[in-house]
Chains A and B, each alone.
Chain A
Amino acid sequence: MCLSIPAEIININKDKATVSVGGTRYQADISMVDGVSPGDFILLHSGYAIGKIDSTKAIKTLALMEEIKRKAGD
C-alpha cells in the first residue's frame, strides 16, 4: 500500500487530474502539488499526487550511475 508510481498528467480539472500510468488512466487528487501541467509526471499514491518528478534531476541520477559504471571500468 506504500507503493507510489510515476504517472503522467493528461488533463487537469481544478484539484483533480486524469493521469496515465503506461497507458492506463486513473483519477488523481492533485491538491498537494503546486504548479503541475499536462505532460508533467507526478508520484501517484493511493489516488493522490504526493510530489512532482523532477526530470532534470532524473537525468542527473542516471549520469551519476554512468559515472559509477566508468569507475567500475577503470
Chain B
Amino acid sequence: MIKYISEYRDKKLIEDTLSEIRRISHKPVTLMEVCGGHTMSLHKNGIPALLPGTIKLLSGPGCPVCVTSRRFIDNAVAAGRMKDTVVTTFGDLIRVPGSETSLEKEKADGRDIRIVYSSADALKIASENPNKKVIFLGIGFETTAPSSAVAILRAQRETLNNFYILSAHKVMPPAMAALIDKGVKIDGYICPGHVSTIAGSNMYLPLVENYGVGCVVSGFEPLDLLQTIYMLVRQHEEGSVKVENQYIRAVTPEGNLKAIEQMDKVFEPDNDWWRGLGVIPESGLKIKDEYKAFDAYSQFQLDEEMDASFIEEEEGCRCADVLKGIISPPECSFFGTRCTPEDPAGACMVSSEGACAAWFRYSGKGLVL
C-alpha cells in the first residue's frame, strides 16, 4: 500500500463520485485531458465508459514523445553517428521512428545509445567518460525542463565540458490556447498535475480569461480524475468558468518557485513545432546563449529549423488528428492492425502515455471498479 495513492482508489468513494457526476450533468460538455499521464490513468481505470453520455472526453497534446518531431529524432541519430558521442535518452523515445531510422535501430547497429532514467544519470556517464561527448535528449514539459536546467547548472559548476542537452522541452499553455484557436471545441481542460506542481495553477488564468474555458488542475488517481470531472461539469452547469485546483496536495497557485528560477536561468521561450499543431509561438524552451557550451544544437551544428514541407507522419497515420482531439484512436484505419504498441506506425502508439497506446492497451478492459 503506497501512501497518497491507495486512498485515492477507494471503490466506494469512486462509485459515489460517479453517481454525483451523473446526477448533476445535464448539458453536453466536452472535456480534454491534456496530459498523457491522465490519458493513461483514465483508460487504465476504465473511466470513460462509466461517465454519462453528456460528457465527452478528448485526449490532448500532452504526451512529450508524441508531439516531438521526426526532425528531433533525426538530429539525435546524427549526433549518435558523430565520433566519440554517447546519446542518452528516456526509454520512451528510443522506438519513435525518425525519417529513416530509430534510435533503437541505431543502437543495434552499434552506436552508443543508452537509456537513462534521469538527466542525473547522463551527467554521471559524462563525468565517468571524459573522452566521450555525452548528449542528453531533453524532452518533456514544465515537469521535466527544470531538471534539465539543474543538470546544466551542475555540469557548469563541476566544469564538465563533455555534457550537452538536445532540447525539445516545451511549455503547455501556448498549445492549450492553440487548440482552441484551431477551432477544437473544448468546454473544460483537465489540466496537467505535475506540470502545475512546477508552474502553479495561476498559469491557467489567461486561458480562462481569454478563451472562457474552464480549467481544473488534477491529480492522477481515479478519484482525483473523477473529482476533477465533477468540478468541470459543475462549472459548465453553473455557467461559471474558472481555475480550480483539485490537486492541492501537490500544486500551489504560484508553483515551485525554486524550480522555475532554475528553468528560467537556463532556458528562454522560443517558437517550437508540435506534431499535429505545427509551429506555436513561444511554446518551446531553448538553451540561452550564456549556456551554449551545453547546447547540442550549437555544439554539433545540428539543424533546428523545421522545413514546412517536412512530412511528419507515415502516410495513413492520423496522429496529428488524434493530438488535436479531432478523432479518437480507433477511428484511424491503422489502429490495432498496421499499428500496435509492438509495431507502432506513429508516435502516439509508441509512448505508453500516447492516446493510441492507452486506447489499445486498456479500452474496454481497464476496469478496476
Q: Which residues of A contact B (CB under 8 A)?
A: 1-6, 8, 21-22, 27, 29, 31-34, 41, 43, 45-48, 50-55, 57-58, 60-62, 64-66, 68-69, 71-73
- Which residues of chain A come closer than 8 Å to B256, judged between CB atoms? 32-33, 50-51
The residues of B that contact A68 with a CB separation of less than 8 Å are 16-17, 20, 227, 230
B50-58, B118-126, B159-167, B341-349 - interface stretch: B118-126
Find out whether the CB atom of A1 lies under 8 angstroms from the CB atom of B144: yes
B230's nearest neighbour on chain A, judged by CB, is A68
**A residues less than 8 Å from B353 (CB atoms):** 1-2
Give me the 4 closest cross-chain CB pairs, A-B, nearest first. Answer: A47-B118, A69-B16, A6-B4, A58-B249
Identify A32's interface contact among B5, B224, B258, CB under 8 A. B258
Asked whether, in the complex, the Cβ of B150 is within 8 Å of the Cβ of A72, the reply is: no
Residues of B within 8 A of A34 (CB): 258
Number of residues of chain B lying within 8 A (CB) of chain A: 58
- Are A1's CB and B65's CB within 8 A? yes
**A51 adjacent to B118 (CB under 8 Å):** no
| Complex: A52 Cα to B249 Cα, angstroms | 8
Chain B residues within 8 Å of A55, by CB? 249
| Interface secondary structure of A, over-half rule | mixed
A sample of 16 cross-chain residue pairs with beta-carbon separation below 8 angstroms, ordered by A number, consists of A1-B139, A5-B2, A29-B147, A32-B258, A33-B256, A46-B118, A47-B118, A50-B143, A50-B256, A51-B250, A54-B249, A54-B250, A61-B249, A65-B227, A66-B13, A72-B20
Closest beta carbon of chain B to A38's beta carbon, Å? 15
A-side contacts of B65, CB under 8 Å: 1
B333 within 8 A of A: no
User: Could you tell me if B248 and A57 are in contact, using CB atoms closer than 8 angstroms?
Assistant: yes
B1 cross-chain contacts in A, Cβ below 8 A: 22
Q: Let me know if A46 and B20 touch, CB within 8 A.
A: no
Complexed CA–CA distance, A41 and B38 (Å)? 21
CB contacts (< 8 Å) of B19 on chain A: these are 72
Report A-chain residues with C-beta under 8 Å of the C-beta of B12. 69
CB nearest neighbor in A for B65: A1
The reply to whether B147 and A45 form a contact with Cβ atoms under 8 Å apart is yes
Residues from chain A with a CB closer than 8 A to the CB of B211 are none
Question: Which of chain A's residues have a CB closer than 8 A to the CB of B83?
Answer: none
Could you tell me which B residues sit within 8 Å of A by CB distance? Answer: 1-5, 7-8, 12-13, 16-17, 19-20, 23, 35-37, 62-65, 90-92, 117-121, 139-141, 143-144, 146-147, 150, 192, 194, 197-198, 219, 223-224, 227, 230, 246-251, 256, 258-259, 262, 351, 353
- Residues of chain A within 8 A (CB-CB) of B4 are 6, 41, 53, 58
Please tell me if the beta carbons of B194 and A65 are within 8 angstroms of each other in the complex. no
Most chain B C-beta atoms within 10 Å of own C-beta, residue among A4, A32, A43: A32
Extra inter-chain contacts (19) besides given A2-B62, A21-B2, CB under 8 Å: A1-B64, A2-B144, A2-B192, A2-B353, A5-B2, A6-B2, A22-B2, A33-B256, A34-B258, A46-B90, A46-B147, A50-B259, A58-B4, A66-B13, A68-B16, A69-B13, A69-B16, A69-B20, A72-B16
Q: Which of A6, A34, A51 has most chain B Cβ within 10 Å?
A: A51
Contacts A47-B120, A58-B249; A32 near B146 (Cβ below 8 A) = yes
Shortest B50–chain A CB gap in Å is 14
Across-interface contacts of A71 in B (CB, < 8 A): 20
User: What residues on A are CB-neighbors of B198 within 8 Å?
Assistant: 50-51
Across-interface contacts of A2 in B (CB, < 8 A): 35-37, 62-64, 140-141, 143-144, 192, 194, 353
Set of chain A residues within 8 Å of B13, measured between Cβ atoms: 65-66, 69
B118 touches A48 (CB 8 A): yes
A50 to B19, CA, bound (A): 34
B250 touches A65 (CB 8 A): no
A55 to B16, CA, bound (A): 24
- Closest Cβ neighbor of A64 among chain B residues: B227
Q: Which residue of B lies closest to A45 (CB)?
A: B143
| Chain A residue, CB-CB nearest to B20 | A72
If A2-B141, A4-B197, A6-B3 touch, whether A65 touches B223 (CB-CB below 8 Å) is yes
| Nearest CB in chain B to that of A47: its residue | B118
**Chain A proximity of B291: nearest CB distance (Å):** 17
